[in-house]
Copies of this chain bind each other. A is one copy, B any other.
Amino acid sequence: MKKAGGTQETGEAAHCETCSVRKLALFQPLSPKEVVAAQTFRRAFRELKAGGSIFRQGSANKEIYTLHHGWAYLYQNLADGGRQILRFLLSGDFFGFQADVGSGERLHSARAITPVGLCVFSRSDLLEMFKEHLELGIRLTWMTAYEEVVAYEHIVSLGRRSAEERIAYLLLELYNRVRIRERNPQDIHTVEIPLTQELIADACGLTQVHVNRTIKSLERKNILTFQSRKLHVPDPERLAGIANHSHDFLITKPIL
């Protein structure tokens, strides 16, 4: 029986010391000693096909992850069948660390958009990690607080921004997040974003149809083009101008 989206466990993957995404991730400002420690806490390296499920709402809250490569997203399903995307995950992103809310179950699901590679850690190792490597614990806290700030930005978008503003904001955020991951970009103004209009809709709280109309409208105004997974932004400042933002966080200076 073939598992949908296929999971593959391997022990093979670059060591943390030489990992190209490490400087983005949980283990960024660490000393060599702590990086080695991180390595020992890593329980597996797992690869999934595009569309594969990483974890599901209701499953046991036992693993935490760093996305080594590829794109994924965190989401939640509703009683009426709707879906809300909570966060897009890019290489180096840390995710799956959820407070224990009593049931020991996950409240959200995660799914791969492209093929992905995951560094898997065990939740039960956290206490030991805290005890033996304080810097790792502090870093974990910092990452979680950072995610909260990003979530608050998402709340602002959904609560108070128009469809055009939401989409402008999201695309600009993704544009910047992809850009800081590129070592030597050829074209500063173009980034690859492997999202369908439906995924954008589920993140922005809109319908796919209306996302299409809004993007088309932005294209007509020469603010951006988004075709065959390539986002082109001739003038990022102009895009920022229509995003109705109140500070520059995520828009001009994303950290992750």
Contacts and interface: CB of A to CB of B under 8 A. Distances in A.
Contacts of A38: none
Contacts of A58: 247
Instruction: Report, as a range, how many residues of chain A touch the other chain.
Output: 35 or more
Given A134-B130, A140-B141, A246 B149 contact: no
Contacts of A122: none
Contacts of A204: 159
Interface in A236-253: 244-247, 249, 253
Contact of A148 (B105, B151, B203, B245): B151
B147 A137 contact: no
A131 B130 contact: no
A147 B149 contact: no
Given A57-B246, A84-B156, A154-B155, 16 more contacts: A57-B247, A76-B156, A76-B246, A78-B245, A80-B244, A86-B152, A86-B155, A86-B156, A107-B149, A107-B247, A130-B138, A137-B138, A137-B141, A140-B141, A155-B158, A158-B158
Interface of A: 57-58, 76-80, 82-84, 86, 97-103, 105, 107-108, 127, 130-131, 134, 137-138, 140-142, 144-149, 151-152, 154-156, 158-161, 202-205, 244-247, 249, 253, 255
- Please name the 9 residue pairs, one residue from A and one from B, whose CB atoms are nearest each other, closest first: A159-B205, A158-B158, A99-B145, A151-B151, A99-B146, A82-B160, A84-B159, A141-B141, A144-B144
